Structure 1
Amino acid sequence: MSETNTNHRGAVPVTVPHLAESLVSATVGKWMVKPGDTVRQYDVICELVTDKVTTEMPSPVEGVVTELLVAEGAEAAVGDPICLIAQSGAAHAAGIGGGMERDGTSAEQLQTAAVAQAQSVNEQSMRPRYSPAVQMLAAEHGIRLDDAPIRGTGIGGRITRKDILAYIESGAAAATRRQPQTQQPPVPAAEALQPVRTSGLHLSEEPRIPSIEVEHGDNREYFIDVTPVRNAIARAMRQSVTEIPHAWTMIEVDVTNLVNLRHKVKEEFLKREGVNITYLAFLLKAVVGAIKDYPIMNSVWAVDKIIVKRDINVSLAVGTEESVLTPVIQQADRKNVAGLAREIDELARKTRAGKLTLSDMQGGTFTVNNTGSFGSVLSYPIINYPQAANLTFESIVKRPVVIKDMIAVRSMANLCLSLDHRILDGVICGRFLQRVKENLESFDETTNLY
């Protein structure tokens, strides 16, 4: 037992669990308890932030929190104690006080197993924390956030801007307003929320608006707290641009036939699979096909050698209100278009609901980002370290193009590629992009999704 325990008889040290093979430490993002609080087994006691994900840390035992050993924002190594919990009399009598359950399971093993259940415990832990964007939208529509029965889909049950919009569209907002608006006739919800499409966007939902946590300030400035997740992103981005000599190239693709194909199959696919089929699924199929032809794109730099990965695990850049995460589709080259569409939908839902696990984030070998969903037509992505390349799919827009000396209106999109110039050169990347272009332009209304 640790020296700290001698000062707290019967106290169990809660340690940082071994979350993944490559992780050696985690940061305490936020404490949910304070000394003197009584906790039950599996109650969330803090948020642990890693370079991959933020996970809720459950209590391995029932008892009273006696001491917090690690401050918020501080880092602790795997196996280091972060707090002490004095077990309740019943739990101590059952044999947990000796660090072992009656069935022989140690408190440390119990704690590690409890982490797997953390995603479903205390779903409302962040519900009372409203971003300024949420508060402003709620005020505009006369919604009292503390009283309205709005289901939060953000991390820990947090209410997002999309939740407010869905609540308004349902018509429930009018029934829960304390004082109905009588001065002016209300704008119909569907009409007020109708998105404006002027750039050929192919969105399945409204773009996410980042939320901010305002600390304090005056009428000239305000401060935004840097969260542990934002710190982790900053470290990764700094490492990427510092160590990797970035280069960039772009190619234009005619996706008219792909647009026609998706329009033809999307309704039937939704009925059959229960998910939307997006352009991203076809892009991934085209990319993994090109990587098979040019496997050097699926590699990492190792100083005295280049390591080429045999498995093609595609990292998807998914934006949330708080950050950008890159969950991974494992062995994407073994999946058809329908399988990729299901994987994309599942990972996107888990990311935005804060349900990603460490296994969802590991093993990526090549990153794809659908920047076109925000209307972008040209971007310069930062490489997802330590990968060799990052490809973005820009917005599909109709443009006049010359075909056999005649002008035609076609659906066009740009593919942008950032590359590690230690590994890749213009020739190989140019050929790779040409192959992606050929694969995308080969899709037509006869393409089999399965």
Structure 2
Amino acid sequence: MASRLARMARRPAAALLLLKPCRHARSYSHHIFPGITTPVRSNSGRERIRLFPMISQYELWSRSFSSDSGDLVEAVVPFMGESITDGTLASFLKKPGDRVAVDEPIAQVETDKVTIDVVSPEAGIIEQFVAKEGDTVTPGTKVAFISKSASSDTHVAPSEEKSDQVVSTPVAKEVDSQKTDLETEMKGKPKVEVEIKDKPKVLAAAPPKPSASEPQLPPKERETRVPMPRLRKRIAVRLKDSQNTFALLTTFNEVDMTNLMKLRSDYKDAFVEKHGTKLGLMSGFVKAAVSGLQTQPIVNAVIDGEDIIYRDYIDISIAVGTPKGLVVPVLRDADKMNFADIEKNINNLAKRASKGTISIDEMAGGTFTISNGGVYGSLLSTPIINPPQSAILGMHSIVSRPMVVGGVVVPRPMMYIALTYDHRLIDGREAVYFLRRIKEVVEDPRRLLLDL
């Protein structure tokens, strides 16, 4: 019983449960009882020990972490999106004892798609974290308690380990004093020692020596094992599902970038002056993709069970690489945008995706994807379809190569383009026509003006 009391004294929250009002409370003579070692037997026959002299059971129970005075407020995980049910508590941005302002982020939750901040609902001091890094949390999960007052009796010094963080309340202080009295009382009692004689000696078996033909694995000290982030897990699942579901086939073509690069060079200063953004190559490829999808609507369609769904709109996903993984924000109604609108939206989405502030809605949907591996130096690749779409266009680096133009070999800036498509829905004929349309528009942008 003494060891049990010592354990309970080290856990104030558990000690509170001994005096929680229950249906056996009528068997107590009274609850305001001095002393620490007096047992009380209830109707059920179980012993209960009074730890706190001269404290009413109801007064003691009201001193738990939920403050009746309204001083403590809870910071909880916010709503994360319609398609997201849970996330992983990735990191704490603050520590107990830190002062925070209203709506100041104190922790980050990593989901399958984006990183979401847990913010403080009130200005005050962080009293305690009630969750740990790596925990799986859902919307509404309590993460921390915030004290709206700045009094010294509720201030908690930062602990070295998050698992040992406890609120320094009057109840906890009283438990510590009772623990000291209990340990002093137990010092006078004799200790019972049990000596075990003739203990059999167990010889450790020597590890088997590896044979000469057995491969030698590298030592564990040369490896680093870390948990896979949720975003990377989600990417892995989606890409593997795409590989298992679709009949993937890739066709290639090459594009002469001379005219599009000249167009950008001639009008880049006037474009910035009027629209406030730079003219890039992506807007030219987006316009070319829109033209290709309009001429080959099957590339913009998708299989749904035994049906084919033709989309009457064009929402183009732009693959953006971030430090945490690949995300695909969507350009809504790309067919209704001009060059300036496309450039502004791409720049805005790319910046917010890199910072992790992009929302779930801005990445949902999409009927066709463009992935530009050329910015990283990729010469050629076979991209994987982004479900539930049916095709993806891969752009690559621009390389000066000798080309025959008008019977003369001249250097030209060339780019390989690749179209990976679902061969269950799209035949090779439509895929080749689509890439040819991309090539025609990029090599001669004047076709867009003349609708040719």
TM-score bin, normalised by smaller chain: 0.5 to 0.7
Query: Quick check: which has more Rg, 1 or 2?
Result: 2
Q: By how many angstroms is 1:293 displaced?
A: 1.8
> Following the alignment from structure 2 to structure 1, what is the Cα–Cα distance between the partners of residues 109 and 222?
34
Which residue does the alignment assign to 1:83?
143
> Following the alignment from structure 2 to structure 1, what is the Cα–Cα distance between the partners of residues 84 and 311?
21
Would the alpha carbon gap of residues 301 and 45 (structure 1) be closer, same or farther in structure 2, given more than 3 Å must change?
farther
Which residue does the alignment assign to 2:37?
none
Q: How does 1:36-55 map to 2 (within 5 A)?
A: 39-55=100-116
Query: SS at 1:57's partner residue?
Result: strand
Are 2:358 and 1:356 aligned? Answer: yes
Q: How does 1:10-409 map to 2 (within 5 A)?
A: 10=67, 12-33=73-94, 39-62=100-123, 68-78=129-139, 80-85=140-145, 87-88=147-148, 220-223=222-225, 226-409=228-411
> Following the alignment from structure 2 to structure 1, what is the Cα–Cα distance between the partners of residues 442 and 92?
48
RMSD of the alignment, in Å?
A: 3.0
Partner amino acid, structure 2, of 1:88: K
> Following the alignment from structure 1 to structure 2, what is the Cα–Cα distance between the partners of residues 277 and 390?
23
Would the alpha carbon gap of residues 338 and 32 (structure 1) be closer, same or farther in structure 2, given more than 3 Å must change?
closer
Q: By how many angstroms is 1:285 displaced?
A: 0.4
Which residue does the alignment assign to 2:65?
8
> Following the alignment from structure 1 to structure 2, what is the Cα–Cα distance between the partners of residues 325 and 12?
35
Query: SS at 1:46's partner residue?
Result: strand
Would the alpha carbon gap of residues 339 and 85 (structure 1) be closer, same or farther in structure 2, given more than 3 Å must change?
same
> Following the alignment from structure 1 to structure 2, what is the Cα–Cα distance between the partners of residues 446 and 381?
27
Query: SS at 2:261's partner residue?
Result: helix
> Following the alignment from structure 2 to structure 1, what is the Cα–Cα distance between the partners of residues 73 and 412?
66
Q: How many residues align?
A: 317
The more displaced of 249-258 and 8-17 is 8-17
Partner amino acid, structure 1, of 2:375: S
Query: SS at 2:271's partner residue?
Result: helix
Q: By how many angstroms is 1:375 displaced?
A: 2.2
Query: SS at 1:417's partner residue?
Result: strand
Q: TM-score, normalised by structure 1?
A: 0.63
Q: By how many angstroms is 1:235 displaced?
A: 3.0
Report if the CA contact (8 A) 1:327-1:361 is conserved.
Answer: yes
Which residue does the alignment assign to 1:108?
none
Would the alpha carbon gap of residues 371 and 426 (structure 1) be closer, same or farther in structure 2, given more than 3 Å must change?
same
Would the alpha carbon gap of residues 371 and 54 (structure 1) be closer, same or farther in structure 2, given more than 3 Å must change?
same
> Following the alignment from structure 2 to structure 1, what is the Cα–Cα distance between the partners of residues 425 and 264?
36
Would the alpha carbon gap of residues 299 and 8 (structure 1) be closer, same or farther in structure 2, given more than 3 Å must change?
farther
Q: By how many angstroms is 1:243 displaced?
A: 3.0
> Following the alignment from structure 1 to structure 2, what is the Cα–Cα distance between the partners of residues 74 and 389?
37
Partner amino acid, structure 1, of 2:380: L
Report if the CA contact (8 A) 1:315-1:367 is conserved.
Answer: yes
Q: Deviations over 1:238-295 (max 9, x none)?
A: 3332333322111112222112211111122123323221111100000011112222
Q: By how many angstroms is 1:438 displaced?
A: 1.8
Q: TM-score, normalised by structure 2?
A: 0.62
> Following the alignment from structure 1 to structure 2, what is the Cα–Cα distance between the partners of residues 388 and 399?
32
Partner amino acid, structure 2, of 1:9: S
Which residue does the alignment assign to 1:168?
none
Would the alpha carbon gap of residues 414 and 22 (structure 1) be closer, same or farther in structure 2, given more than 3 Å must change?
same
Q: Deviations over 1:410-450 (max 9, x none)?
A: 222111111123332322211211121222222159969xx
The more displaced of 426-435 and 233-242 is 233-242
Report if the CA contact (8 A) 1:8-1:86 is conserved.
Answer: no
Report if the CA contact (8 A) 1:269-1:277 is conserved.
Answer: yes
Query: SS at 1:28's partner residue?
Result: strand
Partner amino acid, structure 2, of 1:26: G
Q: Deviations over 1:64-94 (max 9, x none)?
A: 656645443333333x42325255369xxxx
Partner amino acid, structure 2, of 1:83: V
Which residue does the alignment assign to 1:110?
none
Partner amino acid, structure 2, of 1:48: V
Report if the CA contact (8 A) 1:257-1:444 is conserved.
Answer: no
Q: By how many angstroms is 1:222 displaced?
A: 4.0
Which residue does the alignment assign to 1:422?
424
Report if the CA contact (8 A) 2:316-2:334 is conserved.
Answer: yes
> Following the alignment from structure 1 to structure 2, what is the Cα–Cα distance between the partners of residues 315 and 396?
22
> Following the alignment from structure 1 to structure 2, what is the Cα–Cα distance between the partners of residues 265 and 272?
11
The more displaced of 249-258 and 237-246 is 237-246
> Following the alignment from structure 1 to structure 2, what is the Cα–Cα distance between the partners of residues 53 and 229?
7
Residue ranges of structure 1 left out of the alignment (5+ in a row): 91-216
Report if the CA contact (8 A) 2:120-2:146 is conserved.
Answer: no
Query: SS at 1:377's partner residue?
Result: coil
Q: Deviations over 1:154-207 (max 9, x none)?
A: xxxxxxxxxxxxxxxxxxxxxxxxxxxxxxxxxxxxxxxxxxxxxxxxxxxxxx
Structure possessing the higher relative contact order (Cα contacts under 8 Å, 6 or more residues apart): 1
